[in-house]
């Protein structure tokens, strides 16, 4: 247990020391709240169920924090460790290999929780954030989304040959989700065909379930999102298990 705690703390501190990681995980989402809140405000709009622009945008921003940590931070870190022979040394160390993966998961969970906390605090203090759902439902959606995205991140880490390739792949994978999954742009403004295709992106079911939890919609109305989330999680874990290399 002590080894796991030390590994987790080390991984977390390394993430904070990376400017890219720290900015896009902790600073960028609250900054978006300030930018769009300054432009649109958060006054409830007709037909929005009593919610404002920021209220309805927060589930997407929460997903963005999780996706940034899982798609950028995790694969790049593991690919860098592989290049520097750190993974092989850890595999031979007295610490069980599972501790490495657990520490990666725990460190990113802490980083995600911090980023989401800063985001929610900014939205609440600056724009009077409204929440109509249940906290357990929102927490469940967030945890399921985090685990699914981390599984996807481990799959990417297993497939990329180098840290440089991991960065390129992360950009290629992340930006379509950023704009088409509902993380930044409301899905309603997209053409119908684009929305149909975007439904199958890894982040889309997370945004859907978080939004449902936020506005008190039953998950039974979003069974397709649950199935897609389960499929992405299972498939990603299978790829990560099959292709992961220590060196």
User: Residue 95: pLDDT above 70?
Assistant: no
What values do phi and psi take at 52, rounded to 5?
-100, 180
The CA distance from 162 to 146, in Å, is: 24
What pLDDT, on the 0 to 100 scale, is given for residue 233? 96
Q: What is the pLDDT of residues 156-199, one digit of tens each?
A: 999 998 889 999 999 999 999 999 998 988 777 788 888 889 99
Q: What is the pLDDT of residues 48-84, one digit of tens each?
A: 788 989 999 999 999 999 999 999 988 998 888 888 8
State what percent of residues in the chain have pLDDT above 70: 96
C-alpha pair distances (Å), 223 with each of 13, 190, 208, 229: 38, 22, 10, 10
Residue 60 DSSP SS3? helix
The CA distance from 171 to 156, in Å, is: 12
Helical axes 53-68 vs 163-180, angle rounded to 10° = 160
The CA distance from 97 to 184, in Å, is: 37
What pLDDT, on the 0 to 100 scale, is given for residue 97? 67
User: Residue 10: pLDDT above 90?
Assistant: no
Helices (H), ranges, the chain: 2-17, 19-22, 28-40, 53-68, 74-83, 86-92, 97-127, 135-159, 163-180, 192-198, 204-214, 223-243
pLDDT band at 100 (very low <50, low <70, confident <90, very high): confident
User: Residue 90: pLDDT above 70?
Assistant: no
**Maximum distance among all Cα pairs of the chain, rounded to whole angstroms:** 61
- Give the CA angle between residues 238, 114, 28 to the nearest 5°: 90
User: Residue 147: pLDDT above 80?
Assistant: yes
The CA distance from 48 to 55, in Å, is: 10
The CA distance from 165 to 177, in Å, is: 19
Instruction: For residues 227-247, give the mean pLDDT.
Output: 90
Contacts with 134 (C-beta within 8 Å, 6 or more apart), sequence order: 213, 216
Local structure of residue 93 (DSSP, 8 states): S
The CA distance from 76 to 128, in Å, is: 36
End-to-end alpha-carbon separation of the chain, Å? Answer: 26
Q: What is the pLDDT of residues 19-37, one digit of tens each?
A: 777 888 899 999 999 999 9
Instruction: For residues 126-144, give the mean pLDDT.
Output: 93
Q: Please, what is the average pLDDT of the chain? A: 89
What pLDDT, on the 0 to 100 scale, is given for residue 34? 95
Please say whether the beta carbons of 69 and 112 come within 8 A: yes
What pLDDT, on the 0 to 100 scale, is given for residue 57? 92
């Amino acid at each position: 247990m002590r080894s796991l705690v030390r590994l987790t703390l080390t991984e977390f501190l390394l993430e904070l020391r990376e400017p890219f990681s720290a900015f896009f995980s902790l600073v960028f989402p609250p900054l978006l709240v300030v930018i769009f809140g300054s432009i649109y405000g958060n006054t409830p709009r007709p037909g929005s169920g009593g919610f404002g622009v920021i209220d309805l945008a927060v589930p997407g921003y929460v997903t963005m924090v999780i996706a940034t940590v899982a798609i950028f931070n995790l694969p790049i870190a593991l690919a860098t460790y592989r290049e520097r022979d750190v993974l092989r040394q850890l595999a031979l160390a007295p610490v069980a290999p599972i501790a490495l993966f657990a520490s990666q998961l725990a460190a990113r969970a802490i980083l995600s929780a911090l980023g989401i906390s800063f985001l929610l605090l900014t939205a609440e203090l600056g724009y009077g954030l409204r929440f109509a759902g249940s906290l357990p439902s929102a927490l469940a959606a967030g945890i399921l989304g985090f685990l699914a995205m981390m599984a996807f991140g481990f799959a990417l880490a297993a497939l990329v040959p180098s840290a440089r390739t991991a960065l390129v792949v992360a950009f290629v994978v992340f930006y379509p989700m950023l704009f088409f999954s509902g993380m930044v742009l409301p899905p309603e403004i997209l053409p119908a065909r684009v929305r149909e295709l975007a439904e199958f992106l890894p982040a889309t079911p997370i945004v859907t379930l978080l939004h449902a939890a936020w506005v008190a919609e039953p998950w039974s109305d979003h069974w397709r999102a649950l199935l897609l989330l389960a499929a992405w999680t299972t498939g990603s874990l299978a790829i990560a298990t099959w292709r992961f290399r220590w060196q």
